[in-house]
Amino acid sequence: MDITAQQVKELRTKTGAGIMDCKAALAETKGDVEKAIEHLRKSGVLKAAKRADRPTGEGMIASYVHAGSKLAVLVEINCETDFVAKTDQFQVFAKDVAMHIAAQNPLVVSREQLPEDVLAKEKDIFREQALASGKPEKILDRIVDGRIEKYYSQTCLLEQPFVKDTDITVEDLVKQTIATLGENIRITRFVRMKLGETTPEEEKPASDACCA
């Protein structure tokens, strides 16, 4: 079928992908814009995977200060070259990530950074909750695994639904940006500060107080 300029424009607006990529995705999905978005996401995953091992020595530290100046975020996002770091798209992406952190309050960047003792405690809680609700022993492990996956999606930045488009995760957003900019991108660490909020973490050295 013929792909119209309006369809391409709509897909570009929704994804930020290039014209040829949009045309190819629409052709592949017979003009279905929503399926084309999914196709581009899958393509982004493949492109991102090819670049995952590239060094990321450049980038920027983005900031977000919420209205009223009582909540702020700093996030370090790395890329391969200073050229890409200075592009409008990279900087908008970094600002969006900072805003997301302010809104969703993740604990860590990725699940690998969650301490084992924290996970063990959560698993014990989920198991006790399942037992208390009368779930049979034979399915407890499956229930606990499912709830732990949900816990990851609530506490790990990369696995949280992106606040500006909850149909994708922050990791999906990273991969889409990698595919568009053509460079490897990593969210390295962040710190979220709320006025008057004190935690034991604040007593630790600065190098330990953020997610590196």
DSSP sequence for 125-148: HHHHHHHHTT--GGGHHHHHHHHH
**H-type helices in 53-194, by residue range?**
82-85, 88-104, 116-132, 140-155, 170-181
Give the pLDDT band of residue 209 (cuts 50, 70, 90): very low
pLDDT in tens, 47-57: 665 666 677 78
Domain at 115-153: CATH code: 1.10.286
Are 187 and 75 in contact by the 8 Å Cβ rule? The answer is yes
- Separation CA 163–CA 172 (nearest Å): 12
Instruction: Express each pLDDT in 94-143 by its tens digit.
Output: 999 999 999 999 999 998 999 999 989 998 998 888 888 888 777 888 88
For the domain made up of 56-114+156-212, the CATH class stated in words is: alpha beta
Delimit the domains of the chain by residue range: 1-51, 56-114+156-212, 115-153
In CATH terms, the superfamily for domain 1-51 is Ubiquitin-associated (UBA) domain (1.10.8.10)
pTM of the model: 0.68
Nearest to 44 by CA among 150, 154, 169, 161: 169
What is the pLDDT, as a whole number, of residue 52? 64
Render 11-43 in DSSP notation, one character per residue. Answer: HHHHH---HHHHHHHHHHTTT-HHHHHHHHHHH
The total of other beta-carbon atoms located within 10 Å of residue 46's CB is 10
Q: Answer yes or no: same fold for 1-51 and 56-114+156-212.
A: no
* Cβ atoms of 188 and 57 closer than 8 Å: no
Mean pLDDT of all residues belonging to the chain: 84
